[in-house]
Structure 1
Amino acid sequence: MKNSCLRFSAALLLAALAIPASAQDESPTMIAAPDRDEGKGPFERLIIRGATLIDGTGAPPIGPVDIVIEGNRITEVTSVGYPGLEIDEDWRPADATYEIDAHGAWVMPGIVDTHTHTGGATKAPEAEYTYKLWLAHGVTTVRGVPSGAMEFSLAEKERSANNEIAAPRIFSYHTMGSGEAYSDTRILTPEDARKWVRYAARAGIDGLKLGSHRPAIMAALLDEASKLKLGSLAHLGQMGVAQMNAQDAARLGLGTLTHYYGLFEAMYEDHDVQPWPSDMNYGNEQHRFGQVARQWNLVAGRGSDKWNALLDEFLAFDFTLNPTMTIYSAGRDVMRASNADWHDAYTLPTQWDFFTPSRESHGAYWFYWTTEDEVAWRNFYRVWMQFLNDYKNRGGRVTVGSDSGFIYQLYGFGTILELEMLQE
């Protein structure tokens, strides 16, 4: 047996030596969704029969109703009786080319998740896996920020729009310098930034996913995006937030702030920058995510002049907050997040490996997470949720985004958790 093992090992070694170097060095890549071989539609005249309807306007549920869809348009919603009584067949719309029996079920608009990533080459490389988890949770539209490399995500966006794959509708946002034409090009000046925006717009992107760029670069990116009618969203990372917080970015024309980076920094009372501990190292994600929550008591209090002024300014700019609270929720109870019931059935082994503590995997920073860290996060959420609630109550726009695929949050499941957290 031992000799057999040695011969087998030698064969493997020879086989490895025979593989060209280029093949051994090849990086993992995303795998596009297969052509659609399941699902039906659109239909000339689809009728969904007997549903209870939640229409998304704030109106209460009502039913039973029949819903007529012609092509991709809802053309009629008809009440067909009363709860607990027989359906009145005389009230029902006719001439369906296809019917769905929805008696005892609810119908609602598809959920829009405005902060997503389509898996990842090393953790969930098959796009079909992510798409189906989204669809299974009722997510019918996603904004990828990004959903992969520019060329990959734009191709998947087009295939989805053409009903060639089973996937949500995809809006494609990209970071500065994305695209094969820019793989060896650095963006150093405002004019460089403008040229890239024009290139990306020609490629077909829907908007920009920005960081905390230098003010001159940020201004150029946002101005050019506005001229070309592209959307804009920013993760104002801590490495640049001292020169570009949420208030600064909103004044330059940013459309959406995602996460919380730059929000707390715009309301500091006695600091210009966060007072980091002496051993702080942003490259250590335990430090990065452990320290960010410790801003909760650095900001002006709820109802203060600075707090209210920021709310008013955001409202004046029609600014959007996209908090993605779900993706940081493990910070306040990591054992709950890591032991969620669905991991056994739905989390890929490679995705699970990515979640577990690692110095390399983004968001896998649980080396010595303590009760002190979790208490800091609970306090952080309390202040953060107060600001979000105040903005919503003043008429501000707060949107649903999950950022799943990191920190024990799985695609689709994270979207539903975000909806739950928005009710806290």
Structure 2
Amino acid sequence: MKSVQLLFLFLSVLLFSVPAIAQMPDAPDRTEGEGPFERLILRGGTMIDGTGSPAVGPVDIVIEGNEIVRIQNVGYPGVPINEQRRPQADSNTREIDLEGMYILPGFFDMHAHTGGNAQGTVPEYVYKLWLAHGITSIREPGSFNGFDWTMRHKERSDANEITAPRIFPYIGFGSGADGSIQTPEQAREWVQMIAERGAMGIKFFGARPEIYEATLDEANSLGIGSMAHHAQPRVVYANVSQTADMGLRGMTHWYGLPEAMFEDRVIQDYPLDYNYSNEQHRFEEAGRLWKQAAEPGSETWNNLMDKLLEKEFEINPTFTIYEASRDLMAQRRAEWHEKYTTPSLWQFFQPDRRAHGSYWFDWGTEQEVAWKENYRIWMQFINEYKNRGGRVTLGSDAGYIYKLYGFAYIQEMEMFREAGFHPLEIFQSASIKAAEVLGVDDRLGTIEEGKLADLVIVSENPQQNLKVLYGTGAIRVNDQNEVERVGGVRYTIKDGIVFDAVQLLEDVRRIVEESKEENDFKITQPGLDY
């Protein structure tokens, strides 16, 4: 009988190609950002507060230290601001003019891996890409750089000693155990151990039912969160319906949802030559899975949704990480790769039978058409779940499959829009819905007096065009018939510290350029020399 710990290690390597031998370097001490200030006033911006409220402005927002203490409406659109209504500055006040800009609550990436040795990325590079796209908090699912490493960086981020988002560590089940976990009693002891060490949650790939149940029971009794990637090697043990009954609090990706709605089968219709270790097999057949489930709107469909709604179950779909499956060329040729993707990460993305997510061995039209249909049904389920009151959060899972940190998060927003979410609903999922899952909605997730100052400031209206949130901005032709770029996050404020998002991207560009020079490297397309 295989131990649960061995299963975790097997799946970690198989799913993510994460070597356990080389330690990720630490992030450097913070030299970026100004503040927190004794008093900071953000002047004249338009506020989208994350509650679901429509935009309001112009407003002045007063921040003292790391806390929002006052939000003052100071006028009306198109009318000069009444200076008498504005909070007054003194000699200790820093002011930033945000006229014409938009202010949103800091974003949460709820599926965010801090790079890895396989990708050759370092935390400074990853953290700056996240912050440059307004991501002020991340959930680290699995914490694959090591429990101690992740907790150390969480603590240093909390103390603002490093340039990084807030880190909410979810520990891969079995990680750090003293020996293998083979019994429910051992599972409970492991949960107690990670709770004492400060873990905020657990990430599962799968486990035997009695182990799952004991772990979740102990986690829930201790207030530890939980999420699962219902990996195909173990989804027959427990699909989403079954793990939700056991007490699981949420899921990431979508594996386990269709399996919970099978009506004429128990196991996915795998081809007889299927091998899970063959990445093309794995992802090609995953693209046919939703068609094997119950029809949308059927009794089976509705029963599962009703159950998850009753349990206030979180779904973190990560649409974007599979996007290349429906249009490989578009993701491979994304305009930001040339400037912001490191040589090591680009090489990791290339077709390779040994690397996770590099499954382009013979990927063609038929596979992409199947995935487009897969997305249609998947998005219908997620949008309906949201419409019926379900909690849906945003996550990118970047660092795989041509997905670059930060940029992939904005792509996820665009895919939520495609699924049917209003932009205000997207910003809810990016902020307050995530804060609720993590239990920090009393201090983060919306722009309100008394909450911490985690904010995103962008120079264009992101409701009208989500592309203005990309670090590369959006294309616009001006009145002189000249092509220009507009948007991009201007400032990211985390814990009252103001980061210049443009400068953070310039730092990333420098890291990439230095690596290219050192390795005499240029980006080329697979099988081509250009």
TM-score, length basis structure 1: 0.91
C-alpha separation in 2, matches of 1:125 and 1:386: 35
Question: Any conservation in 2 of the 1:176–1:193 contact (CA below 8 Å)?
Answer: no
Quote the residue 2:161 is aligned against.
164
Q: 1:332 Cα deviation (Å)? A: 0.3
Question: Any conservation in 2 of the 1:174–1:207 contact (CA below 8 Å)?
Answer: yes
Quote the residue 1:341 is aligned against.
335
2:363 paired with 1:369? yes
Match of 1:139 among 124, 132, 135: 135
Offset from partner CA, 1:133-155 (integer Å, 9 cap, x none)? 00000111100013421110100
Match of 1:78 among 69, 72, 90: 72
Q: 1:26 Cα deviation (Å)? A: 10
Report the AA paired with residue 103 of structure 1.
Answer: E
2:90 paired with 1:93? no
Report the AA paired with residue 171 of structure 1.
Answer: F
What SS class does the counterpart of residue 292 from structure 2 fall into?
coil
Offset from partner CA, 1:124-176 (integer Å, 9 cap, x none)? 43101000000000111100013421110100000000011111111000112
Quote the residue 2:182 is aligned against.
188
Q: 1:86 Cα deviation (Å)? A: 2.7
Question: Any conservation in 1 of the 2:121–2:345 contact (CA below 8 Å)?
Answer: no
Quote the residue 1:112 is aligned against.
108
C-alpha separation in 2, matches of 1:93 and 1:58: 26
Report the AA paired with residue 232 of structure 2.
Answer: Q
Ranges in structure 2 where 5+ consecutive residues have no aligned partner: 1-18, 419-530
What SS class does the counterpart of residue 46 from structure 2 fall into?
strand
Q: 1:82 Cα deviation (Å)? A: 2.5
Quote the residue 2:99 is aligned against.
103
Quote the residue 2:500 is aligned against.
none
Question: Any conservation in 2 of the 1:246–1:262 contact (CA below 8 Å)?
Answer: yes
C-alpha separation in 2, matches of 1:197 and 1:26: 22
Report the AA paired with residue 152 of structure 1.
Answer: W
C-alpha separation in 1, matches of 2:148 and 2:182: 23
Offset from partner CA, 1:312-357 (integer Å, 9 cap, x none)? 0111111111100000111000111100000001101001011111
Report the AA paired with residue 384 of structure 2.
Answer: D
- Aligned positions of 1:102-251 closer than 5 A: 102-147=98-143, 148-179=145-176, 182=177, 185-251=179-245
Quote the residue 2:27 is aligned against.
33
CA spacing shift, 1:150–1:166, aligned 2, 3 Å: same
C-alpha separation in 1, matches of 2:297 and 2:123: 45
Offset from partner CA, 1:274-330 (integer Å, 9 cap, x none)? 121110000111101111111122111111110000010111111111100000111
2:326 paired with 1:329? no
What SS class does the counterpart of residue 145 from structure 1 fall into?
strand
C-alpha separation in 1, matches of 2:22 and 2:251: 31
C-alpha separation in 2, matches of 1:199 and 1:231: 14
Q: 1:106 Cα deviation (Å)? A: 1.1
Quote the residue 1:311 is aligned against.
305
What SS class does the counterpart of residue 318 from structure 1 fall into?
coil
What SS class does the counterpart of residue 115 from structure 1 fall into?
coil
% of aligned pairs identical?
54
Offset from partner CA, 1:339-387 (integer Å, 9 cap, x none)? 0000001101001011111112210110111211111111111111111
Question: Any conservation in 1 of the 2:156–2:162 contact (CA below 8 Å)?
Answer: yes
Question: Greater CA deviation, 58-67 or 270-279?
Answer: 58-67
What SS class does the counterpart of residue 78 from structure 1 fall into?
strand
Greater relative contact order, per chain length (Cα 8 Å cut-off, separation 6+): 2
Q: 1:81 Cα deviation (Å)? A: 2.2
Offset from partner CA, 1:239-284 (integer Å, 9 cap, x none)? 0101110000000000011101100000012100012111000011
Match of 1:420 among 410, 414, 425: 414
Question: Post-superposition, which runs of at least 4 consecutive aligned residues in structure 1 deviate over 4 A?
Answer: none
Q: 1:74 Cα deviation (Å)? A: 1.2
What SS class does the counterpart of residue 206 from structure 2 fall into?
coil
C-alpha separation in 2, matches of 1:41 and 1:360: 45
Q: Highest Rg: 1 or 2?
A: 1
Question: Any conservation in 1 of the 2:353–2:359 contact (CA below 8 Å)?
Answer: yes
Question: Any conservation in 2 of the 1:135–1:167 contact (CA below 8 Å)?
Answer: yes
Q: 1:63 Cα deviation (Å)? A: 1.8
What SS class does the counterpart of residue 164 from structure 1 fall into?
coil
C-alpha separation in 1, matches of 2:53 and 2:387: 18
2:50 paired with 1:56? yes
Question: Any conservation in 2 of the 1:210–1:235 contact (CA below 8 Å)?
Answer: yes
Question: Greater CA deviation, 408-417 or 117-126?
Answer: 117-126
Q: 1:41 Cα deviation (Å)? A: 1.7
C-alpha separation in 2, matches of 1:58 and 1:369: 40
Quote the residue 1:290 is aligned against.
284
Question: Any conservation in 2 of the 1:116–1:146 contact (CA below 8 Å)?
Answer: no
Report the AA paired with residue 329 of structure 2.
Answer: M
Report the AA paired with residue 113 of structure 1.
Answer: D
C-alpha separation in 2, matches of 1:105 and 1:223: 47
Question: Greater CA deviation, 230-239 or 354-363?
Answer: 354-363
Match of 2:265 among 266, 271, 283: 271
What SS class does the counterpart of residue 422 from structure 1 fall into?
helix
Quote the residue 1:18 is aligned against.
none
Question: Any conservation in 2 of the 1:38–1:166 contact (CA below 8 Å)?
Answer: yes
> How much is the aligned-residue C-alpha RMSD, in angstroms?
1.4
Question: Any conservation in 1 of the 2:127–2:165 contact (CA below 8 Å)?
Answer: yes
C-alpha separation in 2, matches of 1:44 and 1:26: 44
Question: Greater CA deviation, 322-331 or 48-57?
Answer: 48-57
Ranges in structure 1 where 5+ consecutive residues have no aligned partner: 1-24
Q: How many residues align?
A: 397
